[in-house]
Structures are given as C-alpha cells and as structure tokens.
Amino acid sequence: MTHPFIPQLDAFGGIELHFAELNDFENNCYVVVDTATGATLIVDAADAAPYVLDLVEVARERAAEAGRPEPQPVGILTTHSHPDHWQALADVRDALGVPTIAGADDADDIPVPTDRRVVDGDTIELGSTTLELIGLRGHTPGSIAVVIRQPDEAARILTGDSLFPGGIGNTWDDQERYEQLLTDCVERIFRRFPDETVFYPGHGLPSKIGKERGFLNRWRLFGGMDAVNPATDKYQLP
C-alpha cells in the first residue's frame, strides 16, 4: 500500500490499545491488551495479515520491555460483515489459532466461520477486564461496538463503521436504516457515555463524544428526521 503502516498506542489504566491503518482505505485494526494478564483481543483483521500480526508483535515487545505478561490473543472480533473488515481474518485466525467473534445478525455474511455470535449487551472477559458489546443496527443488521472501561479513565469505544467523526455510517439512502442507526447511536452511546469518552472508528481518526454531541440534530435533519430538544441528547447519569 502507499499508506504507511504506523502502529499507535493509547495506554489507559490496565489497558493498552494498539492500532494502525492497514491499507489505503484507512481500515483500522485494533489490538486490545489487558496488561495484568496479557489477554488480548484483536478487533477487525481488516486487511494485510502481516500487518495485523506485526501489531500483535508490537504489543508483545512492549510487554517484554516492561516485564509484563506476554500478550496472548484470545479472539478476533469483526465489527460487521463488510469485506473490508475481514479480508485478513482467515489468515490471522490460522496464524494465532483463536476463535472468531461477530454480531449474530452479520455472522452468516462473513465467509470465515464465526465461533461466537454476540448481540447487544453481551460481554467479553479479557483477563481482568470486562468488555461491553453494543449493537448498532443500520450500517449492517449486526454491527457491534466494543466498550473498554477502566477505573478513573474515560471509556473508549471501538465503533466500527457505525459512528465516525462528523456522522454515522453509510446507510445508502435508506431512510429506515438511517433512522435506526442514528437512534441506536443516540440511545446506546451518546446518552450512555459522557463527553470525555473517546471513540475509535473503523476508518480514520478517533474523536470524543462531546465533540460530536452538538451535531446530532444536524444529523437528524440531514436524514430527513425531526430535530429534538438538545437536552434529551445529553449524557444521562445511570
């Protein structure tokens, strides 16, 4: 590819989030490491299996330097069924010998068999960390976002192609799908997570919930929906 492979790191609490763009379409791969145990989840083996494995190796080298447990992949989660998010899945699965995970309503459209089918509200135990899964319907029926929480840290959310800086994912001018996706994003992300929450999309750069929250009515109007009182879009304390 002409786009450079540049591994990056977001370290917070007991988590290391390694990530990099894998191709000229800026497909992101994420490697989530629970540093206390070394348990590791790969999210979107999107393309270029050697780069995905290199990202895992970067995590291993960092752990070795710090004297921590070696990262050991325990699974590969595919955020949704579009081919640009699973092109390296078979090769990475075979190289690491770990199970595959995908949304129940997308799994049949992924040619690599899914070992665990998940839905909104499910969790993944990653060593000492519990990852929360959020279903975001619309871009595909079974798109899954991954929530990473750590004490006294802003949450991180891996949103696949459902939420980007500047808008929700493509719904191909389908009004029903657009309304479904925006509704899920509002109800399951914007109202559940505070402004400092960082989200990492399937392509390109991350953003914060607070930076995007003020645009929700613009997104509604863009999709032919009615605007609402902005107060209803604020973070709602549990």
pLDDT at 2: 72
Give the DSSP H/E element, type plus range, for residue 181: helix 175-185
**CA–CA separation, 163 vs 183, rounded Å?**
12
pLDDT above 70 (res 89) = yes
- Domain locations in the chain as residue ranges: 8-233
Q: Which residue has the tokens 């490491």?
A: 33
Return the ∠ at Cα 143 (arms to 94 and 230), rounded to 5°.
Answer: 145
Residue type, 56: V
pLDDT at 1: 59
pLDDT above 70 (res 183) = yes
pLDDT band with cut points at 50, 70 and 90 for residue 131? very high
Centre a 10 Å sphere on the Cβ of residue 189 and count the other Cβ atoms it contains.
22
pLDDT band with cut points at 50, 70 and 90 for residue 4? confident
**CA–CA separation, 177 vs 218, rounded Å?**
17
**CA–CA separation, 152 vs 12, rounded Å?**
9
pTM of the model: 0.98
Q: Whole-number mean pLDDT of the chain?
A: 97
Mean pLDDT of the 182-191 span: 98
Mean pLDDT of the 52-64 span: 98
What CATH number belongs to 8-233?
A: 3.60.15.10
Q: How far, CA to CA in Å, does 184 sit from each of 145, 169, 177, 190?
A: 11, 12, 10, 9
